[in-house]
Amino acid sequence: MNARTDAPSEALGIWVLRFLDARIAAEGTAPSTLRAYRHVLFRLVRFLEVRGFRRWAEVDAPALQRFLDENVLQRGGSVRTWNQRLAVLRAFFRFLAQEGAIAENPALALRWHLPTRGSRLPLPPDQRQRLMDFARSLPETPLGLRDRLILHLIGKLGLRAGQAVALTLEDIDPEGERLRIQTRAGLRIYTLPAPVRESLIRYLQTGRPRLVRDPENRALLLNRRGDPLTRQGLWRAIRALGRRAGLPDVSPERLRQPPGLPLLTPGKEAG
């Protein structure tokens, strides 16, 4: 049997275990809170071990800030995630100070410096590729074909969520090679890259016809009831697809910002 890879080392981990025992003994600590403590603190132990820390008294605020940066900021974490991690660290180091394991509490010096929600970091290239690979593996069902098209429209063409759900059948040329899109600069026509064109044609041929119920409905993207997909529905779909691909924090705004690449390549002005 393989040894567990998430167990903390005895040198640092003994205090993590004492902290968890103290929280278990305290009334009102929810199981979900205990799981969050365990998850974050085990990550912290591994982070510190590879950097040579052996005692909690050696850990300073810059080390904790780097931990938060690498485990939240560089993973595109949200404000909520950062605050949750910070709350765990402050509770743990407060416990260490109360128990005399440290002389000063370095967690008190931690400061917020994440981007706001509107400027979330893009997915790293390996995670973007992982999601695009996952798109190719989606089943050839109506929703599977729709979801593949969504990932391509956002991830390869760079559409915003609002632009994607606003698309209608009239925005597509008969050959499925170009797409008319309302941008901030006005109405434009864009030539579709091959993967986007292929997923669009496949969805139009065998996906959308099995979803649509009202022949008067001209929306391109539909939900499982055959109604036009909303922005909220598209957000939920992308987040669910990200989780299925093993990427728990995917959003349209993170997916549509490929590092160093233009978001859209225009074809010609719409007439």
Q: Specify the amino acid at residue 87.
A: A
| pLDDT(76) > 60 | no
State mean pLDDT over 177-192: 82
Amino acid in position 102: I
Contact between residue 106 and residue 60 where contact means Cβ atoms under 8 Å apart: yes
- How would residue 265 be classed by pLDDT, with cut points 50, 70 and 90? very low
Statement: residue 195 has pLDDT above 80: yes
* Per-residue pLDDT tens digits for 121-139: 678 888 889 999 999 999 9
Bridge partner list, 178: 191
pLDDT at 1: 32
Residue 119 has pLDDT above 60, yes or no: no
What's the confidence (pLDDT) of residue 35? 87
Neighbours of 209 (CB within 10 A): 10
How far apart CA 36 and CA 19 sit, in angstroms, is: 13
Q: Over pLDDT 90: what percentage of the chain?
A: 37
- The answer to whether residue 153 scores a pLDDT higher than 90 is yes
For range 3-14, the mean pLDDT: 56
Instruction: Tell whether the model's pLDDT for residue 12 goes beyond 90.
Output: no
Please give the mean pLDDT across all residues of the chain. 82
CA 235 – CA 174 distance, rounded (Å): 28
- Rounded to 5 degrees, φ, ψ at 228 are -60, 135
Q: Between these two residues, 187 and 80, which has the higher pLDDT value?
A: 187
pLDDT of residue 263: 41
Q: Place 197 in a pLDDT band, splitting at 50, 70 and 90.
A: very high
* Per-residue pLDDT at 73 exceeds 50: yes
What whole-number percentage of the chain has pLDDT above 70?
Answer: 82
Q: Token match 């979801």: residue?
A: 147
| pLDDT at residue number 227 | 96
* Dihedral (Cα; 24, 30, 35, 38), 10-degree rounding: -40
Mean per-residue pLDDT, 31-44: 88
245-259: average pLDDT: 76
Terminal-residue alpha carbon distance, the chain: 67
With a cut of 70, say whether residue 257 has pLDDT above it.
Answer: no
DSSP, residue by residue, 125-175: HHHHHHHHHHHHTS-SSHHHHHHHHHHHHHHTS---HHHHHH-BGGGB-TT
CATH numbers and ranges of domains, the chain: 10-119 (1.10.150.130), 125-269 (1.10.443.10)
